[in-house]
Amino acid sequence: MLTKREAGAQFPFTSTTITDMAMGQKTIFEAVVSRVQELREQIHYHNYRYYVLDDPVISDPEFDRLLKELSRLEEEYPQLVTPDSPTQRVGAPPLDKFETVPHRQPMLSLENAFSEAEVREFDKRLKRFLRTSEEFHYVVEPKMDGCAVELVYENGRLTVGSTRGDGYRGENVTQNLKTIHTIPLEMLRHKQPPPELLEVRGEVYIDLEDFKKLNEQRLAQGEAAFANPRNAAAGSLRQLDPNITAGRPLKIYCYGVGEVQGRTFTRHWEVLEALREWGFRVNPLIEPAQGIEAAIAYHHRLEHERHGLPYEIDGMVIKVDSLALQDRLGTKARSPRWALAYKFAATQATTRVLKIEVNVGRTGAVTPMAVMEPVEVGGVTVSRATLHNEDEVARKDVRAGDFVLVQRAGDVIPEVVKVILEDRPKDARPFQMPKICPVCGTPLVRPPGEKVTRCPNPDCFGRKGSEFEGGALPRRIEHFASKTAMDIDGLGKEMILKMVSEDLVKDVSDLYKLTAEELITLTEKPDKKKKSGKLANKIIKAILNSKNPTFWRLVNALGIRLVGEAQAQILAQHFQKLEDLGEASEEKLKDIEGIGEKRAASIKDYFENQKNKEIIKKLRDAGVQERPPERRAASPLAGKSFVFTGGLARLSREEAKAMVTARGGKVSSSVSAKTDYVVVGAEPGSKYARAKELGVETLNEAEFEELIRRSG
Ligand code: IVH
């Protein structure tokens, strides 16, 4: 990281103030004019560092000071306010309607291809057209799924910005586009001068994470959610009041130019490089590709990577790099001959909801699921989709019998996007969350302010893992014996199920009473006596060996609601014995960072429960005794820095962070060259792209868990 002074030294502009200036040589007004100019250049540059490069060289307060100074001067000297001043990004008055503006060159669309055969045919067609057998240099780009815009710069200043419209005329949305921080109001000049006229083309879009937040906000305010990020981007751009647009998390990636005067280019790649130097945001995933096979290989890679990207793409674009060849190839009616959109297979499909079921999870959480007629989505057959919780079902108003649009994003469970209301059967009734647990009959609870409905019965037979049939107790034993709990090696699912069905184990403490003989009877197969004896002995040994776990493993093993491995590790920093934890006041627990109110209450509930008290006593009687907390300094993760992006499926963000900090690692919120690992979940943010750019090691959730496991 640069110190401020170093950053200042690298910074291409000076930072004098008016009072520093030699007043004798200039009138005050001249000094103001030049200071205003200087401030604008500095602000444009720092905007670019912050929003486009994601690599600021001054702090936020320093930036604010520059902006404030400029606003103050402009207030005092309103005649100096220009439309491209950074103070003018927001605050323009609402319009009655949009004017339309012509595009100097039409904004064409792209021909689509959906298969490798079509893509190879495109390449052949170009070769035939140009009568050549030489391989083309292509440029391959992600096809952003947003809203196309044109930005007109005259002598480096943004003058007009418009939507694509009918391709020949678009709506003048200049004021709205100006609110997007990744759009330069003024082109940077420090690498090359701006041409007299430049029409920049690009896609305005919204990151998936921002889209989710935007929809949550809208729902909280009683407004309708946007169906997808593309609609949200287009809708936000077409607001008559720029102040509304300013509040929307819009971004841009620029991918080409229209009319250019005062500068010539020979290759598309050169155009992209120049755009970067002028301060435009260009997708770092754009690559050159030598020949059509390289372009097809890029499609394969992109198809894999797309689910890790912070934004939606619907395919790739293949473009002939040479502008001379582009000219020779020319255009067809609506699309250029030199480019092709190679789309991905649809990840959405429609199907019918047969019924809505509720599932009970290990913690007792009750989740509604749509059971659907099987349908293929993005190459995978799906028949169930999560509906998350009661509020979500109500929001989407999904009913048994409805036709729904389902989508798969990455490897996450498919979800219902929306109901196709026109096809709703007349007798479809709204979903009602059951009042009692469908498995054990206990009345369900939904604490005020929480979204999750729960079955409060700790012995509910439905508290089973998704693939673990057999009820609550086997699942609890499996958790108790797992690697990050008591670590009882060799105790497999099948064996646990037998123990439970033979009534040998009625709660986890009974494990310590098992004898090898009893186990042999469970594993016995007439012809494999010897083998089962060996296995039984191995398990008994593992059970005995598990009697002295570290404190956090024991706490994790108990399966206290909302307390997993990470919280157990946090608690281990404050307590050394189970009894101390059991006696701790709710007040004390809730003040521990990473525990909080809900977990504190759940811990109290657990230790106050008579059955649990008995289990703990029985564990003690059996000789289970925790070791004092392990020293963490020796962990290989000590001092390593982690950044998280995207949703994790098995862990909460908080849990994952605690796993790192408990091992002496650090968690930070932004990726830099010093970051050791970026943990990438579903629908990650821009941090993922940043990690790739910087070559920082990325881990998926499973790899992260493995790393944690290996580091003790
Ligand atoms: S080039 C003449 N490059 O796709 C070529 N378009 O159907 C014009 N799009 O409306 C487009 N990402 O909004 C190009 N990297 C990319 C793109 C891209 C998304 C959109 C664009 C256009 C549509 C074409």
pLDDT value for 447: 83
pLDDT at 597 over 90: no
Using pLDDT thresholds of 50, 70 and 90, give the confidence band for residue 530.
Answer: low
Residues with C-beta less than 6 Å from any ligand 1 atom: 108-110, 141, 143-144, 148, 164, 203, 255-256, 317, 336, 339, 341
Which of 26-40, 147-161, 468-482, 524-538 bottoms out in mean pLDDT, i.e. has the lowest? 524-538
Q: Which residue has the higher pLDDT, 556 or 90?
A: 556
pLDDT tens digit sequence for 101-144: 999 999 998 998 888 999 999 999 999 999 999 999 999 999 99
The strand ranges marked E within 420-529 are 453-454
Ligand 1 atom closest to the Cα of residue 339 is 5
Which residues of the chain are in CATH 3.30.470.30 domains? 100-343
Tell me which residues are annotated as active site: 143
Q: What percent of the chain has pLDDT over 70?
A: 90
Residue whose CA lies nearest to ligand 1 atom number 23:
109
Residue whose CA lies nearest to ligand 1 atom number 18:
143
Query: What mean pLDDT comes out for the span 153-182?
Result: 94
Q: What percent of the chain has pLDDT over 90?
A: 49
Which of 11-20, 148-157, 247-256 bottoms out in mean pLDDT, i.e. has the lowest? 11-20
Q: 705 CA distance to ligand 1 centroid (A)?
A: 39
Q: 693 CA distance to ligand 1 centroid (A)?
A: 23
Instruction: Return the top range by mean pLDDT from 287-291, 409-413, 566-570, 666-670.
Output: 287-291
Which residues of the chain are in CATH 1.10.287.610 domains? 4-88
Which residues of the chain are in CATH 2.40.50.140 domains? 350-463
CATH 1.10.150.20 assigned to 472-621: yes
| Strand, helix or coil for residue 309 | coil
553, two tokens: 């493993």
The span from the CA of 536 to the CA of 530, in Å, is: 10
pLDDT at 438 over 90: no
Backbone angles phi, psi at 384, to 5 degrees: -135, 145
Residue whose CA lies nearest to ligand 1 atom number 2:
108
pLDDT value for 73: 94
pLDDT at 682 over 50: yes
pLDDT value for 409: 58
For 641-710, CATH gives 3.40.50.10190
CA distances from residue 78 to 74, 529, 696 in whole angstroms, order as listed = 5, 95, 47
* CB-CB contact of 630 with 569 (8 Å): no
Ligand 1 atom closest to the Cα of residue 164 is 10
Q: 143 CA distance to ligand 1 centroid (A)?
A: 7
Residue whose CA lies nearest to ligand 1 atom number 16:
143
Q: 16 CA distance to ligand 1 centroid (A)?
A: 44
671, two tokens: 């990726």
Residue whose CA lies nearest to ligand 1 atom number 13:
148
CA distances from residue 104 to 101, 220, 260 in whole angstroms, order as listed = 9, 43, 10
Q: 286 CA distance to ligand 1 centroid (A)?
A: 13
Provide the CATH topology of domain 350-463. Answer: OB fold (Dihydrolipoamide Acetyltransferase, E2P) (2.40.50)
Ligand 1 atom closest to the Cα of residue 336 is 2
Ligand 1 atom closest to the Cα of residue 146 is 13
Which residues of the chain are in CATH 3.40.50.10190 domains? 641-710
Mutation to probe ligand 1, out of 141, 255, 309, 340 (largest number of atoms < 8 A from CB): 255
Ligand 1 atom closest to the Cα of residue 142 is 15
Ligand 1 atom closest to the Cα of residue 148 is 13
Ligand 1 atom closest to the Cα of residue 331 is 2
The span from the CA of 526 to the CA of 468, in Å, is: 27
Residue whose CA lies nearest to ligand 1 atom number 24:
109
The span from the CA of 32 to the CA of 1, in Å, is: 34
Closest CA to 173 of 225, 107, 238: 238
Mutation to probe ligand 1, out of 140, 317, 334 (largest number of atoms < 8 A from CB): 317
pLDDT value for 410: 46
The span from the CA of 321 to the CA of 340, in Å, is: 12
Provide the CATH topology of domain 100-343. Answer: D-amino Acid Aminotransferase; Chain A, domain 1 (3.30.470)
554, two tokens: 């024991």
Domain spanning 4-88, CATH class: mainly alpha
pLDDT value for 4: 32
Q: 282 CA distance to ligand 1 centroid (A)?
A: 13
Residue whose CA lies nearest to ligand 1 atom number 17:
143
The span from the CA of 125 to the CA of 67, in Å, is: 54
Which residues of the chain are in CATH 1.10.150.20 domains? 472-621
Type and span of the H or E element at 643: strand 641-645
Q: 109 CA distance to ligand 1 centroid (A)?
A: 7
Q: 272 CA distance to ligand 1 centroid (A)?
A: 14
Computed over every residue of the chain, the mean pLDDT equals: 86
Closest CA to 712 of 638, 626, 641, 624: 638
Mutation to probe ligand 1, out of 110, 306, 342 (largest number of atoms < 8 A from CB): 110
pLDDT at 145 over 70: yes
Using pLDDT thresholds of 50, 70 and 90, give the confidence band for residue 711.
Answer: confident
CA geometry: angle 518, 486, 364, nearest 5 deg? 95
pLDDT tens digit sequence for 217-244: 888 887 777 878 888 999 999 999 999 9
- Count CB neighbours of 280 within 10 A: 26
pLDDT at 12 over 80: no
Mutation to probe ligand 1, out of 108, 111, 139, 143 (largest number of atoms < 8 A from CB): 143
Using pLDDT thresholds of 50, 70 and 90, give the confidence band for residue 376.
Answer: confident
Q: 110 CA distance to ligand 1 centroid (A)?
A: 7
